[in-house]
Amino acid sequence: MYPYHNKIKQRIKNNELERYEYVEKYKNICPCMLLYFSTEPKIRPIREHRFKEYEEIFNKF
């Protein structure tokens, strides 16, 4: 099984990411970046300490 972030990054490379957004709160994660995918699981939350890492990935694609 893939670790959580490695699997998400692979899904991004596979063009499964449809969009993302920042929200104040998602379940118990404050603040949160939500990634929306075309395949299941459709929504993946990202914690604040990983925001910069994902923003860099988005800038490459």
For residues 57, 45, 25, 59, the Cα torsion angle rounded to the nearest 10 degrees is 10
Domain count, the chain: 1
Round to whole Å and give the CA distance between 57 and 50: 11
Model pLDDT, residue 2: 65
- Residues spanned by the domain of 24: 4-60
Contacts of 34 (CB under 8 A, 6+ apart): 20, 21, 22, 23, 26, 43, 44, 45, 46
Beta pairing partners, 33:
22, 46
Model pLDDT, residue 41: 96
- pTM recorded for the entire structure: 0.90
**pLDDT tens digits for 1-56?**
569 999 999 999 999 999 999 999 999 999 999 999 999 999 999 999 999 999 99
Residue 25 sits at φ, ψ, to 5 deg, of -150, 135
